[in-house]
Amino acid sequence: MVWPTRNETLQATAIVFVFVVIMALFMWVVDGILLWIVKKLIGGE
């Protein structure tokens, strides 16, 4: 088995971190849109 170098490990960690942040922002936007739609459908403000 060949272990990744320190640089490869840091690069992979950074890529995962950036992906998680992007997905969290995407989910936050989708949640806001769905909340707005549901409020409109049930006659909320």
Give me the half-sphere count of Cα atoms (radius 13 Å) on the Cβ side of residue 38: 6
Can you tell me the distance from the alpha carbon of 18 to that of 27, in angstroms, rounded to the nearest whole number? 14
pLDDT digits (tens, 9 = 90+) for 1-45: 999 999 999 999 999 999 999 999 999 999 999 999 999 999 876
User: What local confidence, expressed as pLDDT, does residue 45 receive?
Assistant: 65
Residue spans of the domains in the chain: they are 8-32
User: What local confidence, expressed as pLDDT, does residue 6 receive?
Assistant: 97
Q: DSSP code of 5? A: P
